[in-house]
Amino acid sequence: MTSRPTATPAERLFVALQHILPQHLLSQTMYRIARSRWRPFKDLLIRTLVRAYHINLDEAAEPNPGAYPSFSAFFTRALKPGVRPLDPEPRAILCPVDGRISQIGSITDGRLIQAKGHDYSVRALLGLGPDAGHPFDGGSFATIYLAPGDYHRIHMALSGTLTGMTHVPGRLFSVNDATARLVPGLFARNERLVCDFATQSGAHALVMVGAIFVGGMETVWAGEVTPPYASRAPRRWSYTSGEPIRLDRGAEMGRFNLGSTVILLFPPGAVSWDAQLAPGHKVRLGQRLGLTS
């Protein structure tokens, strides 16, 4: 991967500004703004988002935007039952979110494609030390970008039992296309939450990647994990003892409190991706991304 990514002057300026902006302070400010319950303000924010991204309120469990107590509550709104049917094939790997394929393919020499001209290591993504092992070399990955107008709850691609969770502190760059093309190792530099599962197809990791203005990441078993953003070292939780936490395929596992990216990791030979999926392909929760072996 030696070709250099191309970008417009505006994109280069956008990325350059991110290097000097107080990313965490801005995200903490957005966290407070998104949870404001002052009706005129939160209603204005919600109406602006609906108009800007043409959000289909008919899909929401609560279709009245004024009924949400805050912008954050609207942003993480539930969907009506049945509007995202799950692929019925038992071997199907389900898309865990509404979004767009950023990259999809194989993990080669322990590295994932970020964008044209950029790759990064699985080890760095998972927040592992130089001597720590992982099961994903030679495996498969899919990176899915969530735009601000997308549904922002995250669901299980496969049924699995939680074995561990790691919060890896980091920067909070935007995760849009321009930043992915221009910031080396973006997804391994940003703050992220790594969720490890044991499935019938072997180990599976779902990585939630933070971004600028993302007001928090949370899971159904631990609640809100971020903020705060003060930690400088990875925090790890083990779930291999005690009552197992098992989540069925398609079940909600977490949510972003503003838009970001999800990365799926599988070990060698575990999955085969659908051939038509490619960067830029729009995907929806519950659709088939591929099949388990």
Instruction: Give the residue numbers annotated as catalytic, written as ranges.
Output: 98, 155, 260
Measured distance CA(154)–CA(76) in Å, rounded: 10
Tokens (6 digits) for 287: 């659709």
Three-point CA angle 212, 187, 12, nearest 5°: 60
- Is residue 154 within 8 A of residue 219, CB to CB? The reply is no
| CB hemisphere CA count around 8 (13 angstroms) | 5
SS3 16: helix
Phi, psi of 191 (to 5 degrees): -55, 145
- Is residue 65 within 8 A of residue 74, CB to CB? The reply is yes
Query: What does the H/E/C string look like for 125-157?
Result: HCCCCCCCCCCCCCCEEEEEECCCCCCCEEECC
Measured distance CA(262)–CA(265) in Å, rounded: 10
- Is residue 204 within 8 A of residue 265, CB to CB? The reply is yes
